[in-house]
């Protein structure tokens, strides 16, 4: 099941692959009778269907047995019909070459592609007796077709590849904490009428002569009273009486100038951390945070270093639950890989979809269908996809889900 991002690419990829199959069929069809032409058409559709429906299709898990069956089927569809249809059928060998490159590890797949290209040259030269130029062009045509099939498949599967989510800055420290370590004087503005006599005392002085540089009154207040003294002393930067205390920031009974209280309590609905209200609990965020903590603990036990990008990305509950399950399965696969030393988790949210990619460097086996097929079905039920594959020394699990409307 493709995601919204893939849907814009799918018609293009399928059209190009179908065009290559049509060109290969058109090269041999004129030399066939009606029965041969119909047989060739059926076989060509079988090659295209296997290529598009299994080998190249995004979200399909490729277990070892499935890879063997698919490659054997393609090899039979490419080489066996030569007996009945002729050497011209070898034009379909490019699909086999590209599939070897897709389904096998990079070095093995590249060697398989080379073997197929050489076999085309041998069949064209020795069996068909074609001239050298035809032999070379047939081999090159197979090579180009194989590379196009491989490139289109990778593009189809990795459309909208994950980018690291921006790292969010740390939340500001609470006002009560910042006031105790570093005090920023608050300046009065011209909009506040200042009584006569302002400036006759140092700013921050109190009516009863308490610390001139600390701005405290009888142990009440905090350092933020540097801007206005205390209401208990009735002064504001040297002014006496109610006018003085009313013209500053309304600090009373230990209140701070930023609307919070000196002991962390609330004043005017604000908190000590700058007047921010309590943030409501987010079950999805809690579930995702717990899953990351569990993953880190399991990987630490296995001696695997974990790197997370996008840990603070906000995920709806219907997205967080499948992502948690994918993370659990991918981390379990990592811990079972003795060669794994690093694991990377990347989460990104776009306008229409959310994506999670988990990669580790201990790839020694192919994806286990018992692990990833149920996961893929769960994502497909939500119009998403899961791609699990081994690429040389890395193993990647890529899950995508459309965001709810």
- What's residue 278's pLDDT? 54
Total residues found in the chain within this entry? 405
Q: Which residues of 108-138 are buried (b: 16+ CB within 10 A; e: fewer)?
A: ebeebbeebbebbbebbbeebebeeeebeeb
Q: How far is Cα 155 from Cα 87, in angstroms, rounded to an integer?
A: 31
Beta carbons of 319 and 353 less than 8 angstroms apart:
no
Residue 365 pLDDT grade (very low, low, confident, very high; cuts 50, 70, 90): low
- What's residue 246's pLDDT? 36
Long-range pairs, 134-137, Cβ under 8 A, ≥24: none
- Averaged pLDDT for residues 41-54: 94
Please state the pTM of the whole predicted model. 0.46
- Averaged pLDDT for residues 10-18: 91
Task: Choose the weakest-confidence range: 22-26, 86-90, 203-207, 379-383.
Answer: 203-207
As a whole number, the mean pLDDT across the chain is 73
Map residue 246 onto helix, strand or coil.
helix
- Averaged pLDDT for residues 207-223: 40
Beta carbons of 254 and 261 less than 8 angstroms apart:
yes
DSSP-based helix, strand, coil % in the chain, nearest 5: 50, 10, 40
Q: Which residues of 250-287 are buried (b: 16+ CB within 10 A; e: fewer)?
A: ebeebbbbbbbbbeeeebeebbbbeeeeeeeeeebbeb
Residue 84 has pLDDT above 90, yes or no: no
- What's residue 376's pLDDT? 85
Could you give the domains of the chain? 4-157 (no CATH), 175-273 (no CATH), 283-402 (3.30.565.10)
- Dihedrals φ, ψ of 282, to 5°? -120, 100
Residue 50 pLDDT grade (very low, low, confident, very high; cuts 50, 70, 90): very high
Q: How far is Cα 187 from Cα 263, in angstroms, rounded to an integer?
A: 23
- What's residue 281's pLDDT? 59
- What's residue 83's pLDDT? 85
Share of the chain above pLDDT 70, in %: 65
- What's residue 369's pLDDT? 66
- Averaged pLDDT for residues 220-228: 39
Q: Which range, 22-26, 167-171, 203-207, 316-320, is most confident?
A: 22-26
Q: How far is Cα 273 from Cα 174, in angstroms, rounded to an integer?
A: 4
- Averaged pLDDT for residues 61-90: 89
Task: Choose the weakest-confidence range: 123-127, 289-293, 356-360.
Answer: 123-127
Residue 142 has pLDDT above 90, yes or no: yes
- What's residue 112's pLDDT? 93
Cα angle 326, 331, 336; round to 5: 130
- What's residue 160's pLDDT? 41
Residue 328 pLDDT grade (very low, low, confident, very high; cuts 50, 70, 90): very high
Note the pLDDT tens digit of each residue in 274-304. Answer: 444 455 557 778 888 899 999 999 999 888 9
The CA dihedral of 149, 109, 28, 25, to the nearest 10 degrees, is: -30
Residue 222 has pLDDT above 80, yes or no: no
- What's residue 120's pLDDT? 92
Residue 164 has pLDDT above 60, yes or no: no
Q: How far is Cα 133 from Cα 84, in angstroms, rounded to an integer?
A: 25
Residue 152 has pLDDT above 50, yes or no: yes
Residue 358: its H or E element:
strand 353-360
- What's residue 136's pLDDT? 93
- What's residue 364's pLDDT? 63
Residue 262 has pLDDT above 50, yes or no: no
Residue 207 has pLDDT above 50, yes or no: no
- Averaged pLDDT for residues 61-76: 89
- Averaged pLDDT for residues 236-242: 41
Residue 317 pLDDT grade (very low, low, confident, very high; cuts 50, 70, 90): confident
Share of the chain above pLDDT 90, in %: 29
Q: Which range, 63-67, 90-94, 194-198, is most confident?
A: 90-94
- What's residue 314's pLDDT? 87
Higher pLDDT: 8 or 307? It is: 307
- What's residue 371's pLDDT? 73
């Amino acid at each position: 099941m493709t995601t919204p991002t893939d849907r814009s690419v799918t018609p293009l990829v399928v059209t190009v692959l179908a065009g290559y199959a049509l060109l290969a069929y058109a090269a041999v069809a004129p030399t066939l009778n009606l029965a041969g032409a119909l047989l060739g058409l059926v076989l060509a559709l079988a090659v295209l269907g296997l290529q598009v429906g299994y080998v190249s299709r995004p979200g399909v898990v490729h277990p070892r047995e499935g890879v063997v069956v698919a490659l054997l089927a393609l090899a039979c569809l490419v080489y066996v019909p030569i007996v009945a249809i002729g050497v011209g059928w070898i034009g379909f060998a490019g699909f086999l070459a590209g599939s070897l490159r897709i389904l096998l590890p990079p070095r093995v797949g590249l060697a398989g592609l080379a073997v197929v290209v050489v076999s085309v040259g041998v069949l064209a030269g020795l069996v068909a007796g074609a001239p050298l130029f035809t032999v070379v062009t047939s081999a090159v045509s197979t090579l180009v077709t194989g590379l196009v099939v491989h490139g289109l498949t990778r593009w189809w599967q990795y459309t909208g590849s994950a980018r690291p989510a921006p790292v969010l800055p740390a939340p500001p420290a609470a006002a009560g904490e910042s006031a105790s370590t570093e005090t920023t004087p608050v300046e009065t503005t011209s909009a506040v009428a200042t009584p006569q006599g302002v400036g006759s005392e140092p700013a921050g002085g109190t009516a009863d002569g308490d610390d001139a540089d600390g701005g405290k009154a009888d142990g009440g207040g905090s350092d933020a009273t540097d801007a206005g003294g205390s209401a208990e002393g009735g002064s504001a930067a040297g002014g006496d009486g109610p006018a003085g205390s009313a013209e500053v920031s309304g600090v009373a009974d230990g209140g701070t100038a930023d609307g919070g209280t000196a002991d962390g309590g609330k004043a005017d609905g604000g908190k000590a951390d700058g007047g921010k209200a309590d943030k409501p609990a987010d079950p999805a965020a809690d579930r995702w945070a717990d899953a990351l903590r569990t993953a880190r603990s399991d990987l630490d036990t296995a001696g695997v270093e974990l790197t997370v990008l996008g840990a603070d990305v906000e995920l709806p509950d219907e997205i967080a639950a499948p992502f948690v399950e994918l993370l659990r399965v991918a981390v379990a696969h990592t811990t079972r890989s003795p060669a794994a030393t690093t694991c990377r988790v990347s989460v990104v949210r776009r306008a229409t979809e959310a994506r999670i990619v988990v990669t580790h460097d201990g790839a020694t086996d192919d994806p286990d269908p018992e692990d990833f097929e149920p996961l893929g079905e769960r994502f497909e039920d939500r119009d998403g996809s899961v791609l699990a594959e081994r690429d040389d020394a890395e193993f990647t699990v890529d899950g995508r889900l459309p965001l709810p409307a």
